[in-house]
Amino acid sequence: METKANRTLVKSAPELWELADDVARMEAWTAGLVGGTPVSVEITDREPERILAWRVTNGSSGDASTRARIAIELAESGFGTSVSITAQHSPADPGAAVAALEGLLDELGSPERRPFTRA
């Protein structure tokens, strides 16, 4: 099954790349897609500030719940960056897959720091 999501985020490609190019985050995002099962990932394509793709490396070949590949593409878009996510995964609840990708976009688009706050 293939699921896609895209959104223009008000962040630069370098900012988004810094967030996305993190193996622990990729593992968490992928676990959300395949139903919360802990996963290990292998990066399959990396073009800095443009394309990042990875796939699940653990799970037996017969365990369909842990087969997945995710690709994120970044492109300049007006006052932000267009982010497109494509996930190829074993058949699952399509609504849950879309929600997982939308959650990934929410996380990428959320502010990292809150300026002018007091500790």
Residue 118 · residue 43 · CB < 8 Å: no
- Token representation of residue 102: 């939308």
Distance CA 32, CA 95 (A): 12
Would you state the pLDDT for residue 82? 96
Would you state the pLDDT for residue 119? 53
pLDDT reading at 1 higher than 70: yes
Single pTM value for the model: 0.83
DSSP letters spanning 65-87: GG-EEEEEEEEEETTEEEEEEEE
Cross-strand partners of 84: 6, 73
Which domains, and CATH codes, for the chain?
Answer: 2-109 (3.30.530.20)
Residue of 62, 59, 77 whose CA lies nearest to 13: 77
Q: What is the pLDDT of residues 19-70, one digit of tens each?
A: 999 999 999 988 888 877 788 999 999 999 999 999 998 754 445 556 889 9
Q: What is the pLDDT of residues 78-100, one digit of tens each?
A: 889 999 999 998 766 778 888 88
Would you state the pLDDT for residue 54? 96
Q: What is the pLDDT of residues 94-117, one digit of tens each?
A: 788 888 899 999 999 988 665 555
The SS3 call for residue 32 is helix
